[in-house]
Amino acid sequence: MSVLETDLLVIGAGPTGLFATYYAGFRGLRVALVDSLPELGGQVTAMYPEKLIADVAGFPAVKGRDLVAALVAQASATDATHLLGRSALTLRHDGETVTVGLDDGTQVRAAAVLVTAGIGTFSPRPLPVGPEWVGRGVEYFVPDFEPYRSHDVVVVGGGDSAFDWAQHLEPVAASVTLVHRRAAFRAHARTVDAVRESSVRLLTCAQVVDIRGNETVEAVVVRTDDGHEEVLPCRAVVAALGFVADLGPLQSWGLETSKRHVVVDSAMRTSLDRVFAAGDVTDYPGKVRLIAVGFGEAATAVNNAAAVIDPSAHVFPGHSSDA
């Protein structure tokens, strides 16, 4: 069993966790960063690397992968210990130390813990038909648009992911058809309008009822609510039906939670001593789940954690321009 000692353990290497890692270094803290995924960037890297993000301060629009690259470069100054491809399983308090056990047997002893786990572990909602086609033309994520070039693509879903992928695949694919079981959409109205004005074909009040092909997908059968069926030739199906999120072992730590989120106060303190949280994982009155909000919460959490780790330290760190 290996033991790692650090000042702050950050659990979750998405944008909020990466910025928290940088900021902890700015406060002079030793940092360890753990994530169950094998690379930095969290859900942005895993699901939306090509998506344009337009609500991050200082960027009129930035691709997910570019935002992550900038955050990684910023956090590199901290010289943090990265523990990737590992999950946090247990947590116990030992006086002024919090010990977190990882699934590989590593024990991390930290003066404070910051949970930035986003929605926790996540798995896509499966397409009701054709599970045997996953990896053979049916996909749940689009990390790279190039494999879809000059192919006919069917996107299934009516939320932000479905419309984002339809919008970004439209200039690359030979054709894009978006199939949704209802006439109304959950996606952002501006994105819906942009897709309506593009060459993407919208099939509403319809569902994919069959997938056809040999080694790979060659067509899907779509049935509308009035019973009409249509065969759509395609080489790829993107199932954007949402995700099932799970906080996993964190739920056994004794944290106060609300609807699969961790309850925090204005200092980003959780119900457990020396355990803080920031980003999409948190909940409090008026919570808004945006990357931009997560950055501010990360700074708030780290500054308050710094004063817990070193009681002689001030919560307000001073301005970086004065450093």
Ligand-binding site membership of 145 (annotated): no
Q: Is 321 annotated as a binding residue?
A: yes
Q: What angle do CA 103, 65, 283 make, to 5 degrees?
A: 60
Phi, psi of 222 (to 5 degrees): -115, 130
Phi-psi region of 31 (alpha: psi -120 to 50; beta: other; left: phi over 0): beta
The continuous run of DSSP H or E covering 107 comes out as strand 107-115
CB 14 within 8 A of CB 118: yes
Structure tokens at 271: 């119900």
To the question of whether residue 198 is assigned a binding role by annotation, the answer is no
List residues bridging with 174 in a β-sheet. Answer: none
175 known member of a binding site: no
- DSSP character string of 166-212: HHHHTTTSSEEEEE-SSSS--S-HHHHHHHHTSSPEEE-SEEEEEEE
- 141 marked among binding-site residues: no
Q: Is 88 annotated as a binding residue?
A: yes
- Residue 107 annotated as part of some ligand binding site: no
CB-based burial label for 208 (10 Å; 0-12, 13-18, 19+):
buried
Q: Which residues of 159-181 are buried (b: 16+ CB within 10 A; e: fewer)?
A: ebbbbbbbbbbbeebebbbbbbb
- Contacting residues for 242 by C-beta, under 8 A, at least 6 apart: 124, 125, 157, 159, 161
Structure tokens of 54? Answer: 């337009």
What is d(CA 210, CA 193) in angstroms, rounded to the nearest whole number?
A: 29
316 is in an annotated binding site: no
Amino acid residing at 11: I
Taken as a whole, the chain contains a residue count of 323
Q: What is the token pair recorded at 51?
A: 């998506």
- C-alpha 230/C-alpha 316 separation (Å) is 62
For the annotated binding site for FAD, the residues are 16, 35, 43, 48, 88, 122, 280, 321
For the annotated binding site, the residues are 16, 35, 43, 48, 88, 122, 280, 321
